[in-house]
Amino acid sequence: MPFARALRAAQLADDSTRRTVPFDYAFRFELTGSPDTVLNKTVTVSVEATFVAVSIGYGVIPKLSPVVLSALPPENDDGPVIEIASDGPKTAGAVTLGDITASIRQSLPETARNLRDDTIVGAVLRNGLRLNPRFADLALNALENGGTLREEILAQMFQVVSPPPDQVQFLYALFDEGSGREFQSEPILNTAGLGISNGDRPFRYFPQPIIFAPRSTIRLQITEISDFPGDLHISLQGYKILGESGTPTAARRRLRRR
């Protein structure tokens, strides 16, 4: 196991009995959704102990919350109750796909200017349109049994779903600012080095654990590729070696021995 190899390497480096404690250093990036944007974050290893990084992992939280869409026809003068037609021709007051697309254009007029090579309706229908969870059971019952829904429910019946986090792509690069070391020949694509953020291999073990001395500055650079706004969380997973010479933990050990 990579963790066992790292622990063994630390033990071989010093025959003295040093205590190791699990520890992670975390980085948080606010993805702008603008491709080619470069983001940098740094953390400083504490003075108390050397940090040994065994693996790296990440996760993404979408910034966009679902947008509620109305299922009401643009011009409805037939009263507060609307028929939901599951098949057959449209009758008075029934809802069609055309009504939904009109609602999309009305609810997201500003989004269209930010789309690349797509229409607002096309982007929504490709990324996802779903029933509002608050009214899903009522809507499905009306569709299956030919029932009716009140106007206030129809006005909030659909949601535009944000793109799933597993569609986010970025380049990442790790640096030790103190020694000037780079740990890759060029930035690595997240899906190539880490996997996708839905839990399918969202982290990787380093072939050889990376040792960062006390007071080292670790820099992580992210280059956005996809137009996905959200919070990107990356963690260096490993442990600290306590009791090394020249650190506060070593001084405390000497006092205890005396």
pLDDT digits (tens, 9 = 90+) for 228-254: 888 999 999 999 998 766 566 554 555
Cα distances from 155 to residues 68, 73, 150, in angstroms, run: 8, 10, 9
Give the mean pLDDT of the chain.
75
CA angle 71/164/39 to nearest 5° reads: 125
Distance CA 202, CA 183 (A): 19
pLDDT one-digit tens code per residue, 9-57:
544 444 445 688 999 999 999 998 889 999 999 999 998 899 999 999 9
User: What's the pLDDT score for residue 18?
Assistant: 67
Q: What is the pTM of this model?
A: 0.62
pLDDT classification of 141: cutoffs 50, 70, 90: confident
pLDDT of residue 5 exceeding 70, the answer is no
User: What's the pLDDT score for residue 224?
Assistant: 96
Spell out the domain ranges in the chain: 2-63+165-257, 67-160
Determine what percent of the chain is predicted with pLDDT higher than 90: 31
133 CB-contact burial (10 Å; exposed 0-12 / middle 13-18 / buried 19+): exposed
pLDDT one-digit tens code per residue, 61-106:
877 555 666 666 555 444 434 444 444 444 445 666 777 777 777 7
Cα distances from 147 to residues 89, 108, 157, 214, in angstroms, run: 16, 29, 15, 68
- Fold (topology level) of 2-63+165-257: Jelly Rolls (2.60.120)
